[in-house]
Amino acid sequence: MNIKQYLDSTYLKTASQAGLDEDQNILVVKKYVQEAIDENFKLIMIRPNMVSIAKKMVVETHSNVGVGTVIDFPEGTSSVDEKLNEATQAIQDGADDLDFVCNYKAFVNGNVGIIKEEVLKCTRLGLDNGKIVKWIIEVAALNDKQIVQLSALIKNVVISNFKEVFYNSVFVKSSTGFYVTQEGIPNGATIPAITMMLENSFPLPVKAAGGVRTYDEAVAMIKLGVKRIGTSGAKEIANGEGTQLEY
């Protein structure tokens, strides 16, 4: 199976997180972008401040690789207006995909209204500008019931407010990959979590992010039904190798 068009090659570390200075971190970003272009991955996923750099490289090489970025990452607790402002800047910088971190903490605390508002307004902004929108629900922070409920909530907001032609442009996504769990507990995509997402977000597509480290794991996710996979080890996975890299 050629899985390259399922892969969102991902580098989301800040310079401090990577133990680098800003210039060194930009070089790492450029390496990932060039690799995505060379390997013809579906997308390169980077931080918002790197979008213009990535877009310039993609345009100059006449590549079909998309440029994606994360919004309100990784906590997801900013206001709706702050999410909209960050996304608007990313659109102006050339982003094709906008991966919003859902305010899952508000959801866990019972504040469903915030989720409905941000999903409606941020999704509308993305779709009105011809972008792909993804909602990261952070499965490691949720129990099974919450995964089911939040996936269904996002689905219901979308199908209640947007035409069917847009459904394939709004994903439910598993994880940031930056959530800190107790030792040994996965912080990203797992088969049970992805299965619940697929069952409860349909007809919206699902992106599995975090924890997919081998070709076999990627194929298993694709066979389950996911349409995208986020990984910092895209080249290794595509080549049939394992990777210890973190999303």
CATH of the domain at 152: 3.20.20.70
CA distance 61 to 233: 22
Which residue range(s) make up the domain with 107? 4-238
| pLDDT score recorded for residue 5 | 96
| pLDDT score recorded for residue 181 | 83
The number of C-alpha atoms within 13 Å of 62 and in the hemisphere containing its C-beta is 0
The answer to whether 79 and 116 have CB atoms below 8 angstroms apart is no
| pLDDT score recorded for residue 247 | 40
| pLDDT score recorded for residue 235 | 95
Q: How many domains does the chain have?
A: 1
Tell whether 246 is covered by a domain.
no
Tell whether 247 is covered by a domain.
no
The answer to whether 187 and 180 have CB atoms below 8 angstroms apart is yes
C-alpha closest to that of 81 among 125, 137, 127, 46:
125
Positions of the chain with pLDDT under 50:
245-247
Tell whether 31 is covered by a domain.
yes
| pLDDT score recorded for residue 243 | 58
Radius of gyration of the chain (CA): 17
Tell whether 243 is covered by a domain.
no
Tell whether 82 is covered by a domain.
yes
The residues, ordered by sequence, that sit 6+ positions from 19 with a Cβ below 8 Å of its Cβ are: none
| pLDDT score recorded for residue 8 | 98
C-alpha closest to that of 229 among 175, 164, 193, 183:
175
Tell whether 84 is covered by a domain.
yes
Phi, psi of 17 (to 5 degrees): -65, -30
Tell whether 244 is covered by a domain.
no
| pLDDT score recorded for residue 180 | 86
Tell whether 245 is covered by a domain.
no
